[in-house]
Structure 1
Amino acid sequence: MKKIVVAGKTIEDAVRNGLTQWKTTGDRVKVQVLEQPSKGLFGLIGSREAKVELEWIPDPIEEAMAFLKDVFRTMLLDADLDTLDTPDGIKLNIYGSELGILIGRRGQTLDSLQYLVNIVANRYSTSHVRIVLDAESFRERRKQTLEELSDRLAKRVMRTRKEVVLEPMSPQERKVIHSQLQNHPNVKTYSKGDDPNRRVVIALR
């Protein structure tokens, strides 16, 4: 843990000095008083300043972003991040050039990186944190592709009257398929198999 020991005429002054040194606010630190101030003889001789220890309270999202930036540096990628609060959690969007290596085949590398980012964030949080990782809006494009695929395969099932078994997908991608066809009047969906080989099946109702 990141800690510093600072002094001041009063406890408040010592804490203020530490916050100024770290350029942060009181809600980001834990304070432990090491020494109370004393005036000494005649208020002058042997006077002692207050001494406190400040311990940095890590922010889960900041730690996740720091982890990702380390990944970018290691991979020699020119990339940066922005954040957005969404109903599904905190969205970290990666932007920059040549991000294909971070996305991987059908987003598999991005999914793996998202898994690691969530582990890092939750290591520094007392409550569960959910982070959705995206790169240049890949997930929205992928969602649209899967929705169009769902509609095409639903028509095939109706035409051939045979069920269609899709390739293995992540839970997030399976959810897109299920959501797209959940109100379809003629077909239904269900999943079979175990992760990472769990698949969506589209069949007649």
Structure 2
Amino acid sequence: MEFSRFTGKTLEEALQAAAADKECSVEELAYTVTEEKAGFLGIGRTVEVEVWCEKDVRTFIRDYIQTYFENAGLDGTTEIEQDKDGFYRITVDTANNAILIGRAGKSLQAFNRLVKSAVSAQFRKRIRLLIDVNGYKQDRYEKLTRMAIRQARDVRRTKVDAVLDPMPADERKVIHNALADMKDISTKSEGEGAARRLHILYTPGKETE
């Protein structure tokens, strides 16, 4: 994907042209000045900028996933939503869900990392995203929540902390949130990378709001 380039006599003029073309506000644009010519005695001065906006990120993600499908001989459709914190939630509907998800979701984790790395490199900033395939993640979150509550009740009864299997950040967050308001229970994550685990801790005296 190539970024759009716009030229104006001033930076403001170039950005206004970009905003009009992309049908967004100037504040929504991200840009890099690629060329600036001073002109002679100020005459003929031009500024060229390389510009992208949120819509371009969506287009890149959708095209990247579609190209991946085509190269792998898979089919599928993609829907993308962005929440107020700039997090992209990507829903993939495909008949090849077993291939994309893999055992215990390992293939889906790898695919998520691949797309995240590609889009972050393209736009030269950290892009946060999560891919779900045929509702797998939502089902997984519900199962993890039920499991975590059972474990937390055991921890509170036995007063012995529990350590869960390694899991990705989004799944740890689901458990953190599920147990946040449980009396005498707290959670923390320890470890690095794929080995990072969540601990359910007996915390006597912790009060809920």
TM-score by length of 2: 0.66
The match for 2:8 is none
AA aligned opposite 2:78: L
The match for 1:26 is 21
Tell me the percent identity. Answer: 26
Paired residues, what number?
160
Greater Cα offset, 118-127 or 170-179: 118-127
The match for 2:95 is 97
2:82 is aligned with 1:85: yes
The match for 2:17 is none
Unaligned runs of 5+ in 2: 4-19, 24-34, 36-49, 204-209
Q: Which has the higher contact order (CA 8 A, sep 6+)?
A: 1
2:183 is aligned with 1:180: no
Q: Work out the CA distance in 2 between the residues paired with 1:176 and 1:69.
A: 29
> Would the aligned equivalents of 1:95 and 1:136 in 2 still touch at CA under 8 Å?
yes
CA 1:123/1:60 → structure 2, altered by over 3 Å: closer, same or farther? farther
Larger Rg: 1
- Please provide the CA RMSD for this pair: 2.8
Q: Give the one of 125, 128, 153 matched to 2:151.
A: 153
Q: Work out the CA distance in 2 between the residues paired with 1:2 and 1:162.
A: 55
Structure 2 counterpart SS, 1:124: helix
Q: Work out the CA distance in 1 between the residues paired with 2:136 and 2:192.
A: 26
1:140 Cα deviation from its structure 2 partner: 1.4
1:195 Cα deviation from its structure 2 partner: 1.9
Structure 1 counterpart SS, 2:195: coil
CA 1:56/1:153 → structure 2, altered by over 3 Å: closer, same or farther? closer
> Would the aligned equivalents of 1:169 and 1:197 in 2 still touch at CA under 8 Å?
yes
TM-score by length of 1: 0.67
Q: Work out the CA distance in 2 between the residues paired with 1:186 and 1:131.
A: 33
AA aligned opposite 1:178: H
Q: 1:111-151 CA deviation, whole Å, 9 max, x = no partner?
A: 22122212222233265432221111222111111111111
AA aligned opposite 2:69: F
2:66 is aligned with 1:69: yes
Q: Work out the CA distance in 2 between the residues paired with 1:182 and 1:142.
A: 19
